Amino acid sequence: MRSSNIELLRIVSMVLIVMFHFSVHGSWPAEGPLASDIAVECLSFGGKLGVNCFVLITGYFMVSGRLRLASLLRVVLETWFYSFALLGIFLIADPTLVTEEKLRRALTPIASGEYWFVTCYLALMVASPSLNVLYRHLSPAGRSRLAAAGFVAISLLPTLTTFNPIGNDLVWFFYLYLIGGWLREQRDGARPQCVLDPTRIVGHWGAERTFAGCVLVVWASMAAIGWARRELGFDFVGPDYLIWQYMVPTFFAAIGLFRIFAAWEMPCSPWVNMLAKTALGVYLIHDNPIVRAWLWPHLAWVYPLGPAAIIAFGLGSALAVFALGSLIDYGRIALLERPFFRWLERSWGPQMQKAGAWLADIGQPGARPS
């Protein structure tokens, strides 16, 4: 049975991601009022926070589980469906938005990285059995040291120096996946031992205080850097410097937010669980490159209304995009995905079971290639 508290975190994370896209893809003036620019920047903070939470959730459940062929296939087919369907719609409705580059990426959405998150996420899923082997062979002390070493190498040092020689999205996903598993172990009683283990630091500060403090730090930095750029010509880093997924405040905020939801004893909610299933579909619809080139410029009129209106409308539009995208994706699940997988089970059940067993055996103790 799905844990509705964690499923609710999926929904919250996707709403934060939509707010991020409202901020970074909007058609905002280059030199508008400082307060309005800061409001736009503040809405961008949750995007990479939401991405981090999605990967932490994956590790939380999968590090002690098994990769399932059906899960992998669902993500691939859903990505193809929305990429091809949205391409077809815009080729009919507004072909001027379909550039040659967007056409190429839409026809090969996974290989081309049309959706960077999906490309990295699928690579993470394929690598998960090997990551699970690594995780199982570490003692609790070893997991704490790995968490600390990764934190220093690909979060703390890049935050302090702006230089990240070994970090990229996939490496970061691997690290977050293992951290998600480590958070699960701590729920079951394990205790981090290394002083620089980020889960220990967040545990010491408290999840709520960590999350609130990190949000305030990032927002304050946006205001300070935005002011310094205008008044002093400061250009060493941009106002959005601390929002990226591996930056310490965003990383700690994600751990704090995850721990808040993981500790919440929420009763099972079929509605929450159903909406959470559509979260990936919401992402694939609204962050399709053709859709975002059409969608966000239509909302530029909100900027002259001032910072309060920008923040309120950013949140409202994120909720509206999630609601509409969720409704569309629920229809896809009911009309296409469920009938297809029932047919697949009837027609190719033995072959699917064999392939699933092969995937399940990868990384299991004593497994040998057949």
Confidence of residue 49 (pLDDT cuts 50, 70, 90): very high
The pair of structure tokens assigned to 74 is: 């669902």
List C-alpha distances in Å: 140 to 60, 147, 150, 186, 190.
15, 11, 15, 10, 7
- pLDDT mean across residues, the chain: 91
pTM: 0.93
Check residue 125 and give its pLDDT: 94
Classify residue 31: in a domain, yes or no. Answer: yes
In sign, the C-alpha dihedral spanning 353, 355, 356, 358 is positive
Classify residue 369: in a domain, yes or no. Answer: no
Check residue 187 and give its pLDDT: 87
Classify residue 229: in a domain, yes or no. Answer: yes
Contact 245, 48 (CB under 8 A): yes
- Quick: pLDDT tens for 98-151: 999 999 999 999 999 899 999 999 999 999 999 999 999 999 999 999 999 999
Check residue 166 and give its pLDDT: 78
Confidence of residue 194 (pLDDT cuts 50, 70, 90): very high
Residues in the chain: 370
- In SS3 terms, 259-276 reads as HHHHCCCCCCCHHHHHHH
Q: Would the pLDDT of 364 be above 70?
A: no
Check residue 359 and give its pLDDT: 66
Check residue 353 and give its pLDDT: 72
How many distinct structural domains can be found in the chain?
A: 1
Per-residue DSSP letters for 316-360?
HHHHHHHHHHHHHHHHHIIIIIHHHHHHHHHHHHHHHHHHHHHHH
| Amino acid at site 343 | W
Q: Domain of 127?
A: 4-361
The pair of structure tokens assigned to 160 is: 């302090």
Burial code (b: 16+ CB inside 10 Å, e: under 16) for 214-227 equals bbebbbebbbebbe
Instruction: Classify residue 1 by burial, with Cβ atoms within 10 Å: 0-12, 13-18, 19+.
Output: exposed
94 vs 355, residue with greater confidence: 94
Check residue 368 and give its pLDDT: 39
The pair of structure tokens assigned to 147 is: 């968490």
- Quick: pLDDT tens for 33-48: 999 999 999 999 999 9
Question: Please, what is the Cα angle at 263 between 261 and 269, to 5 degrees?
Answer: 60
* Alpha helix segments (H runs only) across the chain: 4-25, 34-43, 46-62, 69-93, 100-107, 116-136, 140-151, 157-161, 169-187, 198-205, 207-232, 248-262, 270-277, 279-286, 289-295, 307-332, 338-361
Check residue 280 and give its pLDDT: 96
CA 134, distance to chain mean position in Å, is 23
Backbone φ/ψ region at 47: left (φ over 0), alpha (ψ -120 to 50), beta: alpha
Q: Would the pLDDT of 65 be above 90?
A: no
Check residue 31 and give its pLDDT: 80
> What is the rounded CA–CA span in Å between residue 100 and residue 106?
10
Confidence of residue 365 (pLDDT cuts 50, 70, 90): low
- Quick: pLDDT tens for 287-321: 999 999 999 998 989 999 999 999 999 999 999 99
Classify residue 366: in a domain, yes or no. Answer: no
Check residue 278 and give its pLDDT: 97
